[in-house]
Structure 1
Amino acid sequence: MASHLTMYITLVSTSGVLTVFLCIYSFLKRKEIRGFQSLIVLTLLQSIYIFANAFELSSGSLAEIKFWTVIEYIGIAFAPVIGLKLCLDYTGKKLSRRAMQALYVIPVITLLLVSTNDLHHLFYKSIYLRPDVSSATADIEVGYWYIVHGSFTFGCLLAGAVVLLRKWSTTKKAYKRPLLTLICGQFLPMVSAFIYLLGLTPWGIDPVPFVLFLTSAMYLWAFMSTRMLMIVPIAKEALFESMHEGAIVLDVKRRFIDYNASARRMLPGLRHLPLGRRLDEAWPDLTGAPFPDTSGDNPGQQEIRVQLKNEPATYQVRISTVNDRYNEQIGYLLILIDITEQSRLQAQLKQMAYYDGMTGVFNRTQFIQRGKMLLEKTADEGAAVAVILFDIDHFKHFNDEYGHEVGDTVLIHTVNICRDRMPEGALFARYGGEEFVVAAPVSDGEEAVRLAETLRQAIFNTPYRGYNGDLHITASFGVGVAKNGISWPTLEELLRHADSALYTSKHSGRNLVTLYKTSDNPLIGA
């Protein structure tokens, strides 16, 4: 027994030395370690506990054992709380200051009760030397507070393990090994302490100090090989995950390797996408369209539209190569920038710039620009163009009799009737007030008049049905035609011709179509 005890004391002392080294290492690397304060305090408390345990095992009397037991509890009482704080620091979670202070209540009471146990025996009912061993080793009968403290210790260790396990699914593969190390650092002492309390250890020796040797060795290995708790890799992961832009990492064969939280939000299908799938295969499933062509004038930047649950979204897609420190390509970085609001504002500005806000047809400015282009194109092709101006008859009466709201509805009603009857290639615009203009390719003046007459009859035969009953609407039309073979007019001249013909229609009884001619103007209509 004495030889085995000596060997165990040696192992415990070695564990203490290793833990002290880990404490010093944490202090020296404090600028690089996340949560370094918790790690330094934890390793310091564990060192106190381990060395006090070694001195307890080598004690020659019960009084010495009691003394070193008190020293042990300086470490035992507070280490579980600091270990939990380290887990919280690593996962980026925080407790309120009041909650953190509350966690120290039981450790403080524990240390006070252990120090004064001979007065009340609340922690140990009794401590006595074992008569069946050759060295001065003690056995105990647990008191009430021993159970409270033990439950609290197990609770802290278990809570820390749960906090770490919950981070497992969202931790990138490169950081799973250090996370696993921390999880083991929580579970191994908990399991070994449980085995000790069940009385399953040889000679009733506490195995936790030796287990801490294993956890300290694991921590050192993790520091050296995986840079566990180091700020640089953790900061990189935090930066990657906190980016507002969606980021997708591809390998050189354009297979999915990793993506951040923003990418998951922007492309919900990523949650169900197996890593390793090729971009060209997966992209249609994610967006409903092939991956945009990156071989054009701007290969690194394209725009895509994605239909989300509530509404469509527009993303700017940027792809760039990723090189290693030797400038060798190792993959691609795909960045998704949400420009939905920007695109919506651009569409609204375009709508305001191009279209009439009430009726939705082109505004006067757009008609002038597009009409000139239509005239130039038609002149080159040797065809004809008609410009038709029409005005709703007695429109002021609708506003005065029924109100401007009804007047606005009459305008929209008239536009809807005409829009459904526009030939292909025609321009339709609100020219001002209740006046509208049409420009369309035609074969001759007769076809232009037929188009105007079709619109006039449609308006006349389709009354507006409102809460005031049916309102009959009529309109007067003027037609000007530019025809190949004669002097080709400008758009302004054509508009003057159509306006002159419209004037004739109004003064000839309204609800008429008039074709502009240089001689007499025949009237066509009801």
Structure 2
Amino acid sequence: MFNTRGKPVQAITVLLVEDNPRDAALVAYVLGDRIPRFEVTTVGTLSGALRSLKDYRFDVILLDIVLPDSQGFATIAAIRKAAPALPLIVLTGFADNEMALAAVEAGVQDFLIKGDFESAMIERAVRHAIARSHLEERLKASEERLKGVLDLAHDAIVSVDVRQRIVLFNPAAERMFGYRVDEIVGQPLSLLIPEPLRAAHADQFVGFFREGVESRTMVDRPEVSGLHRDGNVFPVEVSLSRSEGPDGPLFTAMIRDITDRKRTEAELRLLATTDPLTGLANRRHLIERAERELLRLQRFGSPFSLMTLDIDHFKRINDTYGHACGDHALCALAATCVGLLREIDMVGRMGGEEFTIVLPETVGDEAMLVADRIRRAIADIRCDSDTAAAVFGFKVSIGVAECSPEEARIEQPLARADRALYEAKAQGRNRVVRA
């Protein structure tokens, strides 16, 4: 037998499980006359059906649920266990709607009343059962693939309904937030959001709902945080999508914990802005800070001073006690400056034994007093020498320059502070000179 394209049409194989010879003959007769043809194998018991399912391949099962060796839903369960994927049509002599509904819920594709169907009806039921079974198989495979993706995803995936109640929570979300799926589904999304951010998040959710957009990334938000069950707050990156579910819109968030990234970024910023020996600001970072203070001075009249320090006879320390002791002296100077300065001040190492300090809101005699206090404190430092088994000290010369709003570049006041520093050295060192 061939179809309209000239290709052979394969027969539909049917397993008819029916103990009544008359009903079995009627079904076999009805199907045997259809085109394309049906090949019907008839058995009269559940045990016979199970043997046939084991030995042969079928496209569909027609099942009488009242058999000599099994009755009722136990018959359906046994067949379903032996052939879970085969489409199954129940044949019964009773018109019971509740029973029909229960049979469908038990995995049956259709429910036919004996003696109440015509030839076209049973053929249609068979074809529909096969088609529906194939659709169910594809749907099940799709759901399994989706579940596999959700289970294997490294990012947390959380879906909520329009009331912001959680309806989906994948294993990565369990690990990220510390909740089991069975205890978090149905709970409000706010459990996963730090309390200070909840009101703003609720507003953003309403805005996303009203916009009707299908997706949105959240990388443009200044700060997005998640809340672990134990109270720990951690930075996250979130992307949102919207879809239609059977009960209305669903909103799904893909959430990535970026704690490690933030830590790495902080470490990179530290490396880019910090002198590795003393832990102070490096030259680039300090100049950036000084340039910001110059802008504040020009825009708002906020005064500030710059102070340049240089260790006197530093080469003598390295030559006498070794470079390790020279490094020790630099670190001791840095720690002393930090201990004497305010939080708004900044001290940085410009290179070698030269340091610069930015003093916001400090000018004139006040800046000179700060500089002299630092000079005297550094003169009191005593460093141990491992190589010479001795204690040594050192002194500094300091140049101070008050910045002017007429100066266009920070290099100008820095140059004036440097000239004052050289003047302090020319006058005998261990002193402060004001530009």
Q: Which TM-score bucket, shorter chain as reference?
A: 0.5 to 0.7
Residue 145 (structure 2) aligns with? 235
Residue 13 (structure 1) aligns with? 44
Deviation per CA, 1:123-156: give whole Å up to 9, x if none: xxxxxxxxxxxxxxxxxxxxxxxxxxxxxxxxxx
Q: Quote the Cα distance in structure 2 between the aligned partners of 1:249 and 1:453.
A: 64
1:278 equivalent to 2:176? Answer no
Residue 429 (structure 1) aligns with? 348
Residue 378 (structure 1) aligns with? 297
Residue 503 (structure 1) aligns with? 422
Q: Quote the Cα distance in structure 2 between the aligned partners of 1:450 and 1:305.
A: 48
* Paired letter, 2:261: Q
RMSD, aligned α-carbons: 4.3
* Paired letter, 1:460: A
Secondary structure of the 1:320 match is strand
Residues 487-502 of structure 1 correspond to what in structure 2 (within 5 A)?
A: 488=407, 490-502=409-421
1:392 equivalent to 2:311? Answer yes
- Of 377, 398, 405, which aligns to 1:477? 398
- Of 283, 286, 299, which aligns to 1:364? 283
Q: Quote the Cα distance in structure 2 between the aligned partners of 1:312 and 1:394.
A: 51
Secondary structure of the 2:360 match is strand
Question: TM-score w.r.t. structure 2 length?
Answer: 0.63
CA offset at residue 313 of structure 1? 5.5
CA offset at residue 499 of structure 1? 0.6
CA offset at residue 443 of structure 1? 4.9
1:215 equivalent to 2:136? Answer no
Q: Quote the Cα distance in structure 2 between the aligned partners of 1:358 and 1:17.
A: 86
Q: Quote the Cα distance in structure 1 between the aligned partners of 2:153 and 2:322.
A: 54
Unaligned runs of 5+ in 1: 1-5, 30-42, 44-53, 58-205, 517-526
* Paired letter, 2:244: N
Deviation per CA, 1:101-125: give whole Å up to 9, x if none: xxxxxxxxxxxxxxxxxxxxxxxxx
Confirm or deny: 8 A CA contact 1:18 1:217 kept in the other structure.
no
Deviation per CA, 1:291-346: give whole Å up to 9, x if none: 5945399874453266799x986421223323248xx9522112111333333332
Deviation per CA, 1:228-252: give whole Å up to 9, x if none: 7942222221121111211112122
Structure richer in strand, relative to its length: 2
Q: Quote the Cα distance in structure 1 between the aligned partners of 2:330 and 2:199.
A: 42
Q: Quote the Cα distance in structure 1 between the aligned partners of 2:56 and 2:377.
A: 90
1:438 equivalent to 2:348? Answer no
Q: Quote the Cα distance in structure 1 between the aligned partners of 2:55 and 2:265.
A: 60
* Paired letter, 1:253: R
* Paired letter, 2:164: R
CA offset at residue 22 of structure 1? 6.5
Change (3 A) 1:367 1:272: farther
Secondary structure of the 1:436 match is strand
Change (3 A) 1:290 1:385: closer
Change (3 A) 1:21 1:421: farther
* Paired letter, 2:303: A
* Paired letter, 1:267: F
1:331 equivalent to 2:331? Answer no
Residues 115-130 of structure 1 correspond to what in structure 2 (within 5 A)?
A: none
Secondary structure of the 2:281 match is coil
Change (3 A) 1:339 1:379: same
1:316 equivalent to 2:226? Answer no
Residue 260 (structure 1) aligns with? 170
Change (3 A) 1:239 1:272: closer
Deviation per CA, 1:242-276: give whole Å up to 9, x if none: 11211112122111222111111122245684421
* Paired letter, 1:268: G
Change (3 A) 1:471 1:257: farther
Secondary structure of the 1:323 match is strand
Confirm or deny: 8 A CA contact 1:304 1:317 kept in the other structure.
no
Q: Quote the Cα distance in structure 2 between the aligned partners of 1:214 and 1:369.
A: 77
Secondary structure of the 2:340 match is coil
Q: Quote the Cα distance in structure 1 between the aligned partners of 2:236 and 2:181.
A: 18
Change (3 A) 1:490 1:277: same
Residues 100-139 of structure 1 correspond to what in structure 2 (within 5 A)?
A: none
Change (3 A) 1:495 1:217: closer
Deviation per CA, 1:11-50: give whole Å up to 9, x if none: 9834257547877998759xxxxxxxxxxxxx9xxxxxxx
Q: Quote the Cα distance in structure 2 between the aligned partners of 1:398 and 1:316.
A: 52
CA offset at residue 473 of structure 1? 3.2
Residue 213 (structure 2) aligns with? none
Q: Quote the Cα distance in structure 1 between the aligned partners of 2:394 and 2:250.
A: 67
Residue 334 (structure 2) aligns with? 415
1:452 equivalent to 2:362? Answer no
* Paired letter, 2:363: D
* Paired letter, 1:332: F
Residues 35-74 of structure 1 correspond to what in structure 2 (within 5 A)?
A: none
Q: Quote the Cα distance in structure 1 between the aligned partners of 2:233 and 2:335.
A: 27
- Of 344, 347, 354, which aligns to 2:266? 347
CA offset at residue 380 of structure 1? 2.8
CA offset at residue 434 of structure 1? 1.5
Q: Quote the Cα distance in structure 1 between the aligned partners of 2:274 and 2:432.
A: 26
Residue 251 (structure 1) aligns with? 161
* Paired letter, 1:375: L
Confirm or deny: 8 A CA contact 1:322 1:330 kept in the other structure.
yes
Secondary structure of the 1:391 match is strand
Residue 130 (structure 2) aligns with? none
- Which shifted more, 365-374 or 405-414? 405-414
- Which shifted more, 314-323 or 292-301? 292-301
CA offset at residue 476 of structure 1? 1.3
CA offset at residue 387 of structure 1? 0.9
Q: Quote the Cα distance in structure 1 between the aligned partners of 2:154 and 2:148.
A: 12
Residue 183 (structure 1) aligns with? none
Unaligned runs of 5+ in 2: 1-18, 25-41, 62-66, 89-105, 110-132, 209-215
* Paired letter, 2:252: L
Q: Quote the Cα distance in structure 1 between the aligned partners of 2:299 and 2:391.
A: 47
Q: Quote the Cα distance in structure 1 between the aligned partners of 2:177 and 2:144.
A: 25
Residue 31 (structure 2) aligns with? none
Change (3 A) 1:504 1:235: same
Q: Quote the Cα distance in structure 1 between the aligned partners of 2:228 and 2:347.
A: 32
CA offset at residue 426 of structure 1? 2.4
Confirm or deny: 8 A CA contact 2:177 2:228 kept in the other structure.
no
Q: Quote the Cα distance in structure 2 between the aligned partners of 1:333 and 1:476.
A: 64
Confirm or deny: 8 A CA contact 1:459 1:475 kept in the other structure.
yes
Q: Quote the Cα distance in structure 1 between the aligned partners of 2:424 and 2:333.
A: 18
